[in-house]
Amino acid sequence: RSLNESAIAAAQSALMLAPDLADAHSALAFALVRGKMDVRVAREPYEQSRKLGWGDADVLIRYSDYCINVGRVREAEGSTKRALLLDPLNHRVFRLLGLNQLLDGRYHDAIASIEHALAINPKMGGAHAIISLFYFRVGALDKAHEAYDRETFGLFIKTDLSIIDFK
């Protein structure tokens, strides 16, 4: 059994034990997306997690991240703002809000949100990648490259830098 299959099975077991536990629905959905790349099947557990976890910032962050990844940017922002009300010192909420705003074309709001996230946690991964995406979108490729040079999360750095360099 693979690690992904084990994660899905563990989340399903948690749901059998506690069907109203928002984190269990969220964990299942996350495992389905990350492990099987099955965003369609993950939709139901993500929707259920949001419904049951309206008072849990972490559940709402995962739901919002899912919505962004499937193109439901406006819907993601509502859950992100709710997560911000619940946990106003969570740097991940501000990073997600910044990504939401960037994808919605509100660039200056996005940069302000990302800078706030970095003020809370200067070592946070992913923030400089979003700043780089902003500069890429406005055609400031040198600044996009500089932002990526400060990125700490290495998952997409080589790919994204290659795209910037090609452009």
CB atoms within 10 A of CB 164: 18
pLDDT above 60 for 61: yes
pLDDT band at 161 (very low <50, low <70, confident <90, very high): low
Specify whether the CB–CB gap between 125 and 105 falls below 8 A: no
Q: Give the 3-state secondary structure of residue 145.
A: helix
Task: Specify the pLDDT at position 158.
Answer: 59
In 3D space, the residue among 95, 25, 8 whose CA is nearest the CA of residue 59 turns out to be 25
Specify whether the CB–CB gap between 35 and 18 falls below 8 A: no
Query: Hey, what amino acid is at 34?
Result: R
Ramachandran category for residue 126: left, alpha or beta (phi over 0 → left; psi -120 to 50 → alpha) = left
